[in-house]
């Protein structure tokens, strides 16, 4: 049965944040809010957590998982960023964007998109997520909480607890965080390619 944490959206309670991070460090899988809908998350090295996300969402090995990072410095440890791309990402973070970029050796091979050796990264603009990341000290391996057969992600903590009570270890509720997932921009090629239009304004990456 999942533990349920009611966390203040602007001033997350340190004790609750610490308890959630302990669950992540112990190999747990959490459902947590971001600036663009809920996500499933676990620690970077958690193989079982990765498989649990795949099972919950019915994902294949072509799916890009996302490393949700605290800040630009952390993001730069896990992806290779050229000068032009650096400026574009810097101007768009924190925010509702996921960027597909070539991965560094810091990223476990099982997380890479097989052919291109790329991974998704993002820096969310959400106080609770930022508090979790600051306490954890590393990115959360994440995927949008969009269940098979659902057209939209679940947005209410109690609803997620009801639906996934036996599939996750904790649900963090910080109020409504919207139904629109991030805008996904593939920056691994010569030109930016928008692969999903979501909450982030795509126009800054369009020619």
Over 70: is that where the pLDDT of 207 sits?
no
**What is 98-141 written as a DSSP string?**
EEEEEB-TTS-GGGSBTTTTEEEEE----HHHHHHHHHH-SPEE
Average pLDDT value for residue range 118-132: 95
Higher per-residue pLDDT: 171 or 112: 171
Higher per-residue pLDDT: 62 or 44: 44
Over 80: is that where the pLDDT of 85 sits?
yes
Mean pLDDT comparison of 10-14, 155-159, 202-206, highest-scoring range = 10-14
Q: Pairing relation of β-strands 183-186 and 193-196?
A: antiparallel
Angstrom CA distances, 14 to 20, 196, 206, stand at 10, 34, 40
Check if the beta carbon of residue 39 is closer than 8 Å to that of residue 5.
no
So what CATH class is 3-205? Answer: alpha beta
Q: Considering the entire predicted model, what is its pTM? A: 0.95
Over 90: is that where the pLDDT of 141 sits?
yes
Range list of β-strands (E), the chain: 3-6, 30-33, 38-43, 66-68, 97-102, 118-122, 140-144, 170-173, 183-186, 193-196
3-12, 22-31, 86-95, 151-160, range with the lowest pLDDT: 151-160
How many percent of the chain have pLDDT more than 70? 99
DSSP bridge pairs for 186? 100, 193
d(CA 136, CA 130): 10
Enumerate the domain spans of the chain.
Answer: 3-205
Give the residue among 113, 132, 139, 122 at the shortest CA–CA distance from 182: 122
Over 80: is that where the pLDDT of 15 sits?
yes
Mean predicted lDDT score pLDDT of the chain: 92
Average pLDDT value for residue range 182-194: 93
Tell me the helix, strand and coil percentages in the chain, rounded to 5: 30, 25, 45
Over 70: is that where the pLDDT of 168 sits?
yes
Element counts in the chain: helices (H) and strands (E) = 6, 10
For residue 186, the model assigns a pLDDT of 95
Give the residue among 205, 180, 207 at the shortest CA–CA distance from 89: 205
Mean pLDDT comparison of 110-114, 167-171, 203-207, highest-scoring range = 167-171
């Amino acid at each position: 049965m999942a533990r349920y944490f009611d966390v203040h959206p602007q001033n997350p309670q340190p004790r609750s944040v610490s308890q959630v991070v302990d669950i992540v460090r112990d190999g747990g899988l959490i459902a947590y809010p971001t600036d663009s809908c809920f996500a499933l998350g676990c620690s970077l090295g958690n193989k079982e957590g990765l498989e649990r996300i795949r099972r919950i969402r019915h994902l294949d090995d072509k799916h890009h998982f996302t490393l949700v990072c605290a800040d630009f410095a952390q993001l730069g440890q896990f992806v290779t960023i050229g000068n032009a791309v650096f400026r574009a990402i810097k101007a768009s973070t924190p925010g509702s964007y996921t960027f597909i970029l070539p991965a560094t050796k810091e990223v476990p091979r099982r997380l890479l998109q097989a052919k291109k050796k790329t991974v998704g990264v993002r820096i969310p603009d959400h106080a609770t997520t930022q508090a979790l990341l600051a306490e954890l000290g590393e990115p959360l391996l994440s995927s949008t909480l969009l269940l098979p057969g659902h057209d939209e992600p679940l947005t209410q903590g109690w609803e997620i607890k009801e639906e996934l009570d036996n599939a996750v270890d904790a649900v963090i509720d910080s109020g409504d965080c919207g139904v629109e997932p991030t805008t996904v921009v593939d920056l691994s090629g010569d030109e930016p390619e928008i692969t999903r239009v979501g909450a982030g304004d795509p126009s800054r990456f369009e020619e």
